[in-house]
Chain A
Amino acid sequence: EVQLVESGGALVQPGGSLRLSCAASGFTFSDYNMDWVRQAPGKGLEWVGHIRRKSSSYTTEYAASVKGRFAISRDDSKNLLYLQMNSLKTEDTAVYYCTKVDSSADDSFDPWGQGTLVSVSS
């Protein structure tokens, strides 16, 4: 069974840093591009960023709202995806989901992890 499990969410002060992890299982992680999506409380979904696989040099894409503050990386040897979040703002408060890019289905997102909550508050 393909599974994604996020961890690392916490309460952090504005200006602080946090690293989220996403553990992948049930598929060959290194073969797939991966994304992060977030959802602020009571709001809609917002795409955060994307990381390509090794064959595409692990290149990344980011939403303007997080570019320069967030960084996505991966460790294919451990089947782990990361989201390093720096200079956190109150508006970064959200549930963060990792998701696999399904290259066999028009690069749609499937599956999604259960999410991890990041709260930014003083």
Chain B
Amino acid sequence: DIQMTQSPSSLSATVGDRVTITCRASQGIRDDLGWYQQKPGKAPKRLIYDASNLSSGVPSRFSGSASGTVFTLTISSLQPDDFATYYCLQHYTYPLTFGGGTKVEIK
């Protein structure tokens, strides 16, 4: 199975900060990775697909990138609505695997 190692598991940040979250795949997954945002008590919401494509309606302050087996989600200027938990998901091969999640909290 492909392991997705997501870091950090949590972070504290201030509105306006630049935030970076990383997922490292245990083997190559091409760009078959998405990023999802989940707020407490709510279903996950897709932010990024194909490693770097912004989902429709998602603010442009979110971006994704890839370098080999390392995938990065960046929030260029953190907004109050962005405090949530973020997950990566590889769908290159079964079983599909999620990263452990990153909880973004208010500093």
Q: Give Cα distance in the complex from A50 to B91, angstroms.
A: 11
Tally of B interface residues using CB under 8 Å:
26
Tell me the minimal C-beta distance from A46 to chain B in angstroms. Answer: 7
Contacts of B44 in A (CB 8 A): 37, 45, 97, 109, 112
Tally of A interface residues using CB under 8 Å:
24
The answer to whether B101 and A115 have CB atoms under 8 Å apart is no
Q: Give Cα distance in the complex from A48 to B55, angstroms.
A: 23
Q: Give Cα distance in the complex from A44 to B55, angstroms.
A: 22
The answer to whether A63 and B43 have CB atoms under 8 Å apart is no
The answer to whether B95 and A47 have CB atoms under 8 Å apart is yes
- Whether B82 sits at the interface, judged by CB under 8 Å, is no
Contacts of B71 in A (CB 8 A): none
Name the residue on A nearest B35 (C-beta): A108
Tell me the minimal C-beta distance from A48 to chain B in angstroms. Answer: 9
Contacts of A114 in B (CB 8 A): 42-43
- Whether A31 sits at the interface, judged by CB under 8 Å, is no
Contacts of B75 in A (CB 8 A): none
- B60-96 interface mask toward A, CB cutoff 8 Å, 1 = contact, 0 = none? 0000000000000000000000000001010100111
Within 8 Å by CB of A108, from B42, B50, B87, B98, lies B50
Contacts of B87 in A (CB 8 A): 44-45
- Whether A106 sits at the interface, judged by CB under 8 Å, is yes
14 further interface pairs, Cβ-Cβ under 8 Å (given A47-B89, A61-B94, A62-B95): A44-B98, A45-B38, A47-B97, A64-B1, A102-B49, A106-B50, A107-B32, A108-B89, A108-B91, A109-B36, A109-B44, A109-B46, A110-B46, A112-B44
A–B complex contacts, Cβ < 8 Å, 14 sampled: A44-B99, A45-B87, A45-B101, A50-B96, A102-B46, A105-B46, A107-B32, A109-B34, A109-B36, A110-B46, A110-B55, A111-B43, A112-B43, A112-B44
**10 A-B pairs closest in CB distance:** A108-B49, A106-B50, A112-B43, A108-B34, A47-B96, A110-B46, A105-B49, A44-B101, A61-B94, A45-B98
